[in-house]
Amino acid sequence: MTPPGNNEHCLIAVLVGENPDPEHVVRWSRTRAERLQSPWIVIYVETPRPRREAEHSQLTRSLALARELGAEVVTTTGDDVIANLLRIAKQRNVTEIIFGKDRGASWWRRLRSDVDLRRLLRDSGDIVIHAVPVRDEGLSLAVVPRRRVPRARSTLPQYVMAVGAVTAVTLAAFVFAPVVGAHATALVFLLAVVLLAVVVERGPALLAAALSALSWEFFFLPPVFAFRVSHFEDAMLLGMYFVVALVLGQLTARIRAQEEAERRREERATALYLLTRELSQAGNLDQLVQKIVRQMESAFDTQVAILTPDSVDGLKVHPASTLQPTLQDQQALASALAQRQNSRKFSENLRTQDMYVPLGASERPLGIIGLGLRGPLSMHRQNLLEAFSQQVALAFERHHLNEISDRAKLLAESERLGKTLLDSMSHEIRTPIAAIKSATGNLAEFSVNSLQREMIGEIEQATERLNRLVGNVLEVSRLESGNFRPRLNECDVTELIHVAVAETEHELAHHKLSLHVPADLPLVRMDFVLMQQVLTNLLSNAAAHTPPGTAIELSAKVEDKSLVLVVADTGPGIPVESLGRVFNKFYRAPNAPTGGTGLGLSLVKGFVEAHGGRVKAENRQGSGAIFTVYLPLEATKTPA
Amino acid sequence: MNETVEKKVLLVIEDEVQIRRLLRVCLERNGYQVAEAATGEGGIDAAIQLQPQIILLDLGLPDIDGLLVLKRLREWSQVPILILSVRGREDDKIGALDSGANDYITKPFSTGELLARLRVVQRYALPRANPQLFTSGNLSVDLATRTVKLKGRTVKLTATEYSLLTLFVQHAGKVLTHGQILREIWGSNEVDKTGPLRVYMGYLREKLESNPAKPQLLVTEPGVGYRLVLED
């Protein structure tokens, strides 16, 4: 025995079909399987024993429930439920079997259940047996009227055939009875009943037996033309007719039931095989749906609809569908799908008899299959539908995954292209700038007059500006390329501020910069280069938009688990109409001095947001602009 | 010491003909003998044939990656190599420094910057006359007696601070990447765990810089690492 908790080799098998509330057993087993974290299989052994309609639908529901709860469902056919259960259990190395012990109202069923359980206990070897008491609350069997499952074909011709056969034998017997004697004639009648029993079902066979017995007794057994049995052997012979007819009828019925089950299994296997073969060959979604519709139409002999989710809550009937659900039904289906209802409740709110099954796990439905129906589906058909819907769901899932991987490939390709483009842009544009800068540098070393020096100075300034512009444009496209990730590591904020200040020393030469940096600032995870550019851009922005001599303050502090960096000036401030737009790309305030690119502040915003932080621009009370950067201290999460 | 009198042979490995021409003009005017190669393979061949005293290497080459050229050169040569790089490519710089480049300069650069870098690279590539004594500006470090003096006054350093400083002294003038320092001093391979390094750099600056807010000795190379500046 495997102790609970060790799920390495656990496998739980559950028997359904032999108790009045299979759903209860299935749920009980799920709890057990979850506790052991073990896989579980639900076994249904189909016997020739006739089942009532209510029992059938209840079983189908339980099997569907079991599938939904994650069980594997195994159905098999056989006379002996327990033997078949144990056969499967041993094949699959089952460690525990859960058996629903019938504690319902019917004494006969209780007795049978106990016999089964005793056999199970005796023959199960090392397997642990759980006997779960089940009362017939799920379905009051006593109340439900006894109604046979409607037979597929009518038995009336068989009765006619039985009567005809007996009549024929009787007529023939009038010819040979005088020659062979009454007892040999009885054997001829028996032969006819045996032959008949092979062909017809139990009822007509019994009728033939009864008719033969009566006919023989009346016409051939002395005294002829009278119902009177004078010898004991004759009475025995009469009784034998019935026994033989009964046994034969039973036997042939079994054989036929098994044949039928075999045929259905083959049908199902063929249908599934055809479906999977077709599905594997489908290229795109439309082809896939067309093939599904065609295969399901031929398997179920009815119209088929495929619905796929189109937007958040909507559903779209695929044009290849041959069944057209009404708009009301579509809405009901869409809301059922949105509410993640499981498959059993799925078709409940519909106004038609048509059957709809959601595809895929209930957390993320991939679509819906609809079948046009005029009556309830037989259990075999329902099983087939379940199997089909699983295959279709798999195909949809595969298609979905293919799409995702295609998209990812495309994205990676476009990212690669983008990077190559950026790299070559960066190289191609910077090379001439480098050449100009180097050439003017060389030029300045020669002895030149003051006008020439001035011109060289102009070229150098323009080159510097162009270089900055190109740099900013490249940074913006890098930010927007989608694969931008800051390189986070622990940084010293004081160091960051000093580097940024040193970088802008030249631009801030005519301003009064004051720093307020507390000594106890923690190390902050950030991309040093990006944050340095943030501060540099804010500082040069302040320098560019305020007259010389203006005071600029740069301060840092920790507040609400954020690092707060503030650049404040006492200049004219930001025009109110521009406040909301200063971080926009290429936006320049109306009174902005020439020479800027309109990209600096948008880069500030982009870089800060890449760190998971935010930045805001305000006007100070009195006069001046104030830019505040908030950087979360655990700035490890970058927004997607 | 005949070599110092002769012109230094400088090999430029750069694919842009215009840049090569300009570098030649500027460098020849400043006393270098310039050789050129337009491809990585050509550069490696030229380095073997000419045995230059210094190499300027552009990372974006048409045939093979500049980083690969660097690695192949470093397999057999310790010649000072200065990398020409572009802004915003800190990873490239770190990769180049970790692969044995001596320094980098960001395009577009001015002639003055380039010449200064070249001087520094050559200077620390030379064997020092007095290897146990190091001086730069006001700082002097005696590796034999393990004494650190600032303007002649002894500075007390902790063990970690001292080994950090020694590492810089051994590579004076050269940029040390965060990764290199972390590996040498802390034996760590987690390149993004720069916390202790930042803290100790702060301590060292407090003790050695005249104005820790504007470091003159131990300067930050943003996104790359630190450099101990060589001053006469």
A573 Cβ neighbours under 8 A, 6+ residues apart: A619, A620, A623, A624, A625
Q: Give the chain A residue whose CA is nearest to the CA of B29.
A: A442
Alpha carbon distances (Å) from A169 to A91, A196, A243 = 51, 12, 20
Is the entire prediction scored with pTM above 0.95? no
Please tell me the distance from the alpha carbon of residue A29 to that of residue A26, in angstroms, as a whole number.
5
Please tell me the distance from the alpha carbon of residue A3 to that of residue A6, in angstroms, as a whole number.
6
Instruction: Give contacts of A488 with chain B, Cβ < 8 Å.
Output: 192
The complex scores an ipTM of 0.83
Note whether B216 and B210 are within 8 A (CB): yes
Please tell me the distance from the alpha carbon of residue B217 to that of residue A417, in angstroms, as a whole number.
42
| One-character DSSP codes across A254-279 | HHHHHHHHHHHHHHHHHHHHHHHHHH
Note whether B40 and B68 are within 8 A (CB): yes
- A437–B86 CB contact, under 8 Å: no
CATH, domain range B133-228: 1.10.10.10
Please tell me the distance from the alpha carbon of residue A76 to that of residue A147, in angstroms, as a whole number.
24
Fold that domain A12-134 belongs to in CATH: Rossmann fold (3.40.50)
Q: Do domains A12-134 and A282-377 have the same CATH topology?
A: no
pLDDT at A279: 81
Fold that domain A282-377 belongs to in CATH: Beta-Lactamase (3.30.450)
- A442–B110 CB contact, under 8 Å: no
Does the beta carbon of B214 lie under 8 angstroms from any beta carbon of chain A? yes
The structure tokens 């954020």 sit at A562
pLDDT digits (tens, 9 = 90+) for A521-548: 888 888 888 899 899 989 988 888 888 8
Nearest-CA distance B154 → chain A (Å): 25
The phi, psi pair for A237, rounded to 5°, reads: -60, -40
Instruction: Give contacts of A437 with chain B, Cβ < 8 Å.
Output: 108-110
Counting as low any pLDDT under 70, the low residues of chain A are 1-9, 48-50, 136-154, 311-313, 338-352, 360-365, 376, 447, 482-483, 589-597, 635-640
Nearest-CA distance B1 → chain A (Å): 31
Domain with CATH 1.10.10.10 in chain B: 133-228
Please tell me the distance from the alpha carbon of residue A614 to that of residue A630, in angstroms, as a whole number.
5
Strand ranges (E), A18-118: 40-46, 72-77, 96-102
DSSP letter for A148, please.
B
Tokens of B207: 């003790």
Please tell me the distance from the alpha carbon of residue A520 to that of residue A531, in angstroms, as a whole number.
19
Domain with CATH 3.40.50.2300 in chain B: 6-125
Q: Where are the domains of chain A?
A: 12-134, 156-257, 282-377, 400-484, 489-632
What is the residue type of A478?
Answer: R
Average pLDDT, chain B: 85
Does the beta carbon of B210 lie under 8 angstroms from any beta carbon of chain A? no
Closest partner residue to A442 (CB to CB) among B26, B91, B222 is: B26
CATH top-level class of B6-125: alpha beta
Question: At B196, is the secondary structure helix, strand, or coil?
Answer: helix
pLDDT tens, position by position, for chain B (232 residues)? 444 456 889 999 998 888 898 889 888 888 899 999 999 899 999 999 989 999 999 888 888 888 899 999 999 888 899 998 776 677 888 888 888 888 888 888 888 888 888 888 887 767 666 778 888 888 888 888 888 888 888 888 898 899 999 998 888 888 899 888 988 888 877 777 788 888 888 888 888 888 877 888 898 888 889 988 887 6
CATH, domain range A400-484: 1.10.287
pLDDT digits (tens, 9 = 90+) for A352-394: 677 787 776 555 667 888 888 777 677 777 778 878 888 888 8
Instruction: Give contacts of A463 with chain B, Cβ < 8 Å.
Output: 108
CATH top-level class of A489-632: alpha beta
Instruction: Give contacts of B112 with chain A, Cβ < 8 Å.
Output: 441
